[in-house]
Amino acid sequence: MNTLKIGLIGTGFMGKAHALAYQAAGNVFDDISRPVLHRIADIDGERARLFQRQFGFASSTQDWRELVNDPEIDIISITTPTLLHREMALAAIAAGKHVHCEKPLSPTASEAWEIVQAAEKAGVRTQSGFNYLKNPLLKYAREFIASGELGEIYAFNGIHAEDFMSDPLSPYSWRCDPAGGTGALADVGSHIISIARFLLGPVTSIFAQLDTVVKQRPAYPGASELKDISVDDVARMIVNFERGCSGTIQANWLATGRKMQLEFEISGSKGALSFTQERMNELLYYKAGDDSRSNGFRLIETGPQHSPYGAFCVAQGHHLGFNDIKTIEMAEFIRAIDRGEPSTPDFREAWEIQKIIDTAVRSHREQKWQTIS
């Protein structure tokens, strides 16, 4: 079996998710090159060494540039704060590596486009971390819509809401730094934007409102000194799709009680679909015209019939989890590298999503509808 050596930058939440996913992908899927955890980089050298031992990396380093230029590495995974993505991605591309980078790809669409151009010129494969698109039920929903089962699409209503920033005493972090882009809109909103595009296609115009609710936060944990906040906590958009329908998209990281309300409802002339990541193994389907008195949504539960669920479990109702869809994401990236085909969502798709975010910021600033350029 062929192998691909992995260089991972970052040991935080997403760094761990990447390490677990690469390990699992090589065991769950037998049609891809086997990923080998080769080197881990973190600015905290001790943390890098602990991570190396925990996951079985061959080596560790404090210098991400050293990792990027390691001639043995085939794939670079970037899981650092957004502000660092551009420099790391461009360096990895220049070194001839295939690159996976967590979302958002860059703070602005112009910087994202620079990365896209470099990758396409170099001919390397790229992937951006919109992992929720890899849920088998979302792929099924996309096929369902494309087949015409919902008829003419009337509306899309989507939200990504969590409460991890709801405590006003939660300290200032890289998420609050405007140099890294917008706040909730980019951090969580990019996921529901990616789903909207995945299911219904391009967005053409936007009217947006971005609110900064928590105006100041402690400068560091336990500090009495406060730092001003300018990034958004809540973002709301009305959007028009190229296919002719309209919808709403909301991002909120102050949504008290919500842990993963990544949710959408799509209504059409023949029916509707409803989904929430909090019940990620269930898709609700309503068929218009049913005569039953219990005329409501029917439950579609994920199972082996929804590929690649069957690669994990042969029994319906046993359910996939967050790390499983991350495993699917990495397996599809490796498969694209093996076959010399584009992966999805690649850096170009990440750029398209960032254009929507930039346009929403412009709409809020000018308080009018904006066309996506």
Residue 372 within any structural domain of the chain: no
CA distances in angstroms from 220 to 129, 176, 223, 224, listed in the order given: 28, 12, 5, 9
pLDDT band at 112 (very low <50, low <70, confident <90, very high): very high
pTM: 0.97
Output the domain CATH number for residue 75: 3.40.50.720
In this structure, the answer to whether residues 57 and 178 fall within a common structural domain is: no
> Which residues, 6+ apart, have CB-to-CB distance to 158 below 8 Å?
192, 195, 196, 247, 248, 249, 250, 263, 264, 265
Residue 373 within any structural domain of the chain: no
| pLDDT of the residue at 289 | 81
User: By C-alpha distance, which of 261, 295, 265, 270 is closest to 283?
Assistant: 265
In this structure, the answer to whether residues 362 and 307 fall within a common structural domain is: yes
In this structure, the answer to whether residues 41 and 163 fall within a common structural domain is: no
* Angle formed at CA 271 by CA 267 and CA 275, multiple of 5 degrees: 60
In this structure, the answer to whether residues 13 and 141 fall within a common structural domain is: no
Residue 55 within any structural domain of the chain: yes
In this structure, the answer to whether residues 160 and 307 fall within a common structural domain is: yes
- The string of pLDDT tens digits covering residues 182-239 is 999 999 999 999 999 999 999 999 999 999 999 999 999 999 999 999 999 999 999 9
Residue 371 within any structural domain of the chain: no
Number of domains in the chain: 2
Please tell me the distance from the alpha carbon of residue 259 to that of residue 108, in angstroms, as a whole number.
27
Domain coverage including residue 69: 3-131
In this structure, the answer to whether residues 141 and 10 fall within a common structural domain is: no
- Backbone φ and ψ for 71, nearest 5 degrees, come out as -65, -15
In this structure, the answer to whether residues 142 and 246 fall within a common structural domain is: yes
- The string of pLDDT tens digits covering residues 24-77 is 999 999 999 999 999 999 999 999 999 999 999 999 999 999 999 999 999 999
DSSP 76-108: EEE-S-GGGHHHHHHHHHHTT-EEEEPSSS-SS
